[in-house]
Amino acid sequence: MSDDPHTQPPHGLLATLIDVLVEMAQAHVALARAELARVLRRIGAGLVLFALAVALALAALNLLAGAAVSLLIAQGLEPGWAALVVAAMMGLSAAVAALVGLRVLRPAKLVPYRRTPPDSRSRPS
């Protein structure tokens, strides 16, 4: 048989069409897999960088707290009281951040707000 569609019988055209559709579906699946693999690699790299940032931020906060305690000791405060003051301030800051974060994540705040259109409101007669 020739590849000319004008000379092929109808069942040959149908077989060719099915072959083309199968190849196209396989190409789409391969493309989707490649895109998914690329996205997953990017997500993995982003998570590693985020974990590194968190570790560095915690180390920086530890050094900052130590420097604040040293500063208070240099100002004449006893070491125990200086550490207590710094810990209390950091705890208060953490509590405020947690409360604000919980308020933002409240389920009622996450639900989309829907207003009725102005023309559908009932009007007094």
Write the pLDDT tens digit of every residue in 10-24: 778 888 889 999 999
Q: Are 73 and 79 within 8 A, CB to CB?
A: yes
Q: What is the DSSP letter of 42?
A: H
**Whole-model pTM?**
0.57
Burial zone of 69 (CB within 10 Å; 0-12 exposed, 13-18 middle, 19+ buried): buried
Please write the tens of the pLDDT for every residue from 64-106.
999 999 999 999 999 999 999 999 999 999 999 999 999 988 8
Alpha-carbon gap, residue 65 to 87, rounded angstroms = 8
| End-to-end Cα separation, the chain, in angstroms | 80
pLDDT at 88: 97
Alpha-carbon gap, residue 94 to 82, rounded angstroms = 18
pLDDT of 120 higher than 70: no
Q: Are 90 and 108 within 8 A, CB to CB?
A: no
- Structural element, H or E, at residue 71: helix 10-74
What single-letter amino acid sits at 102? L
pLDDT at 112: 76
